[in-house]
Amino acid sequence: MEEQTITNVADASAWVNPMVGTTRMGHTYPGATAPHGMVQLSPQTHYEPYLRADDTYNPATYEYCAGYQYEDTTILGFAHTSFSGTGHSDLGDILIMPTTERPDLTSDSDGGPLFGSGFDHAREAAKPGHYAVYLDRYDIQADLSATERVGIHRYRFESGGHAHIALDLAYNIYHHPDKNVWTFLRVENDSTVVGYRQTTGWGRTRLVHFAMRFDRPLKDYGYVQGQKLDYNGFYRRFQEHQGFPEMAGRDLRAWFDFGTVEAGDQLGIRVALSGVSMDGALKNLQSEAPYSGFDSYRQAARAQWNEALSRVEIDPLREADRTTFYTALYHSMLSPIIYEDVDGRYRGLDQNIHTSENFTNYTIFSLWDTYRALHPWINLTQPNRAADLINSMLAHADESVHGMLPIWSHYANENWCMIGYHAVSVLADGVAHDIPGWDRNQGLETAVRTARVPYFDGLDLYMKYGYMPDDSSHSAVSKTLEYAYDDWCIGQLAKSTGDLVIAAEFDRRSAAYREVWDASSGFMRPRLSSGQFREEFDPMETHGQGFIEGNAWNYGLYVPHAQDSLIAWHGGPDLFIAHLDSLFTMKLDDAYFAHTEDISRDGIIGNYVHGNEPGHHIAYLYNFAGAPEKTQERVRMICETMYGPDTDGLCGNDDAGQMSAWYLFSSLGFYPVAPGSGMYDLGSPTVRSARIAVGQGQTLIIKTRGNEVGKSRVKLVRWNDQVLNGWQIAAAELVQGGTLIFEFE
């Protein structure tokens, strides 16, 4: 066995490029944040109303899910919240822009504010916990950092000027005139401002409170209202638009004047967030960022990232993959985010204030995406955080009027996005990884309750027919397949608690996938409530054919808990392998992409779609049909072609870390095809060796023999010197730590 050198990871942040995914459809943001931090302080480069003047959807907003696109040349300001990699958006709270003159707070014809500045990538830099850019219009060097709950700003006025801050509470990612519900500001003293804003959007009733501290005294301040309300009560005794310390309205934009500054003078600002209240934000500020100064916060953020990133150490076959890998690792730590104040108080889904007992509360659960690999990754490598995530989901269910686990939740809201109830997969996978610190019986109870809510997304019909009838849903097959898998997870969970009655019920339900298999076409196919398959059916088509965000070719292969059936129905291993080969190699013409919305050649290999989640397990399916070499080859190809170290390094939405988590696993040589099964499926690592902190202080070593670029074929795999029989290894083994050795042919 070759001895390999693992590069020192003391400053792994240096290998991260937060710009990865900021072009094409990565939907990542380059701004400053702490690992899983509540604050994501990031530049906003565009203003697009969500609806056009004729009230139709404006597709240009889509690419601004995270507020930033690398192609843009203007920065509107720096907002404090952002999703990472999602396919729909919200947030963009508390936009701040420094200026050297009284900012123009009025709007242009698109409704965007007029104080934006040009910038140049040559004078822009993004690293974990630090974003820097030069604002050409104002000659201001902007540096941003963050603690978990506080955004740290430093603005250096290179040419001096009349220092101002624009604070735009009207700005929203996915802007719409109706989106702001209320905004509120109080100038507590000449260096402290608190406030909140309330929006309706993806999160229907969303509140973000903040507390802001300047390290220069305010000279004056004032505001304008984007949308003025006719009714303002009886009378106002004050000229409130300037110098009056209380401001409220639907769409406040405020200015803060710090007087004339000399060239090189700096303005520091610390902005704490809270989901609870303004005094909660103030407490967060005082706890995490009590002192002015920028560099110590930046250094602390870097150190925090280095600690987090150093938990994995790799020796990649290709040096460029180091950045790809550590950026993926970075992206895997941006969601979910901490969602509680330093005192443990948080706003629950019921809009009441709760205190987390024995856990840390998190939000942003993009579960249709992240149950596949991101949660298994956290379960394997960060069991304490995994327990927090599970307990956060259980608290969500407690607070839910439906008694349901989260579907897609953020900031004390359930936005119901996508299909399935995949939190149950996270619970089952938590059992598989033996995550401590949560109540499995409570988990089972809430999982069962979730899976029985009759009015949720056709569950009544699914339970009645044993599949989702196509005449009641546009994505009936996808739902049937996902529900079936989720039900199998509940069965797993029930077995772990010894509840064999529930296990039997949900094992029965988990066979629903059988009901939508159409032997005549050889595809999973939309089936009507009459029992007949739908006549019209195009397995190439992504929309309206019983699937959502995937076609029958891709999504129809989604039976993670019963691959054997799939292989049998396709006529046995050889025909199944041929089917997979067709998927990866078929040639699609431009006409196909032209008429298929949301699908571009980015992220496609043949007809295999890597840029979206339903197919993420497919490359590993060859293993089950006895062709591991094809899994190895495909996985390697996907790693090499679908990921990269530059701005265009993501082939599709990162989806809150799922796309990146796929890469983390696959480049290390294994992947969870069926989370909750307790088994990982082996691929072909792109590293020579690796060290991964797993479980409770254990170390998993990956080693390879004969691994080279261009050589994907693994001869055998050893676990602690025992040759593995088959192409799986148990999660229960991996979390104990040990050495996994891939021997290449």
CB nearer to a copy of itself: pick between 206 and 440:
206
Cα 713 from Cα 692, distance rounded (Å): 23
Footprint on residues 343-372 left by a copy of itself (CB under 8 A): 350-353
Task: Compute the half-sphere exposure of residue 229: CA atoms within 13 Å on the CB side of its CA.
Answer: 13
Which region, judged by CB under 8 A, interacts with a copy of itself, from 294-302, 451-459, 541-549, 668-676?
A: 451-459
Footprint on residues 214-253 left by a copy of itself (CB under 8 A): 229-238, 243-246, 248-250
Which region, judged by CB under 8 A, interacts with a copy of itself, from 140-148, 255-263, 455-463, 646-654?
A: 455-463
**Nearest 5 degrees, angle CA 114-CA 116-CA 120?**
150
596 contacts a copy of itself (rule: CB under 8 A) = no
CB nearer to a copy of itself: pick between 154 and 175:
175
Beta carbons within 10 angstroms of residue 262's beta carbon: 10
719 contacts a copy of itself (rule: CB under 8 A) = no
Look up tokens 């820097």; give the residue: 132
CB of 55 to a copy of itself, least distance (A): 6
CB of 438 to a copy of itself, least distance (A): 24
Q: Interface mask (CB under 8 A) for a copy of itself, residues 259-278, using x and -?
A: ------------------xx
Torsion of CA 275, 43, 266, 341, to 10 degrees: 10
455 contacts a copy of itself (rule: CB under 8 A) = yes
342 contacts a copy of itself (rule: CB under 8 A) = no
- Candidates 417, 528, 562, 701: give the one binding a copy of itself (CB under 8 A): 417
Give, for 155, the enclosing helix (H) or strand (E): strand 150-157
Rounded to the nearest angstrom, the gap between the alpha carbon of residue 42 and the centroid of all alpha carbons in its chain is 16
Footprint on residues 392-411 left by a copy of itself (CB under 8 A): 401-402
54 contacts a copy of itself (rule: CB under 8 A) = no
CB nearer to a copy of itself: pick between 195 and 683:
195
Cα 111 from Cα 180, distance rounded (Å): 13
DSSP state of 113: B
Contact indicator for 210, 196 with CB cutoff of 8 Å: yes
Helical H runs in 452-551? 459-465, 476-497, 500-509
CB of 43 to a copy of itself, least distance (A): 24
For residue 299, give both structure tokens. 């250094």
187 contacts a copy of itself (rule: CB under 8 A) = yes
CB of 234 to a copy of itself, least distance (A): 5
- Candidates 30, 85, 98, 203: give the one binding a copy of itself (CB under 8 A): 203
- Candidates 205, 472, 596, 739: give the one binding a copy of itself (CB under 8 A): 205
CB nearer to a copy of itself: pick between 250 and 495:
250
For residue 6, give both structure tokens. 């693992």
CB of 230 to a copy of itself, least distance (A): 5
Task: Compute the half-sphere exposure of residue 532: CA atoms within 13 Å on the CB side of its CA.
Answer: 6
Rounded to the nearest angstrom, the gap between the alpha carbon of residue 315 and the centroid of all alpha carbons in its chain is 26
Q: Tell me, what amino acid is at 559?
A: V
Cα 403 from Cα 636, distance rounded (Å): 42
As a residue count, the chain comes to 745
CB of 71 to a copy of itself, least distance (A): 24
Which region, judged by CB under 8 A, interacts with a copy of itself, from 182-190, 330-338, 443-451, 711-719?
A: 182-190
Cα 629 from Cα 619, distance rounded (Å): 11
CB of 7 to a copy of itself, least distance (A): 42
Peptide linkage before 336 cis (omega within 30 of 0) = yes
Cα 196 from Cα 169, distance rounded (Å): 9
Contacting residues for 227 by C-beta, under 8 A, at least 6 apart: 170, 177, 180, 249, 250, 251
Q: Interface mask (CB under 8 A) for a copy of itself, residues 161-180, using x and -?
A: ---------------xxxx-
Site residues (vs a copy of itself, CB under 8 A): 50-51, 55, 88, 90, 176-179, 181-182, 184, 186-188, 196, 198, 200-205, 229-238, 243-246, 248-250, 277-279, 350-353, 401-402, 415-417, 455-457
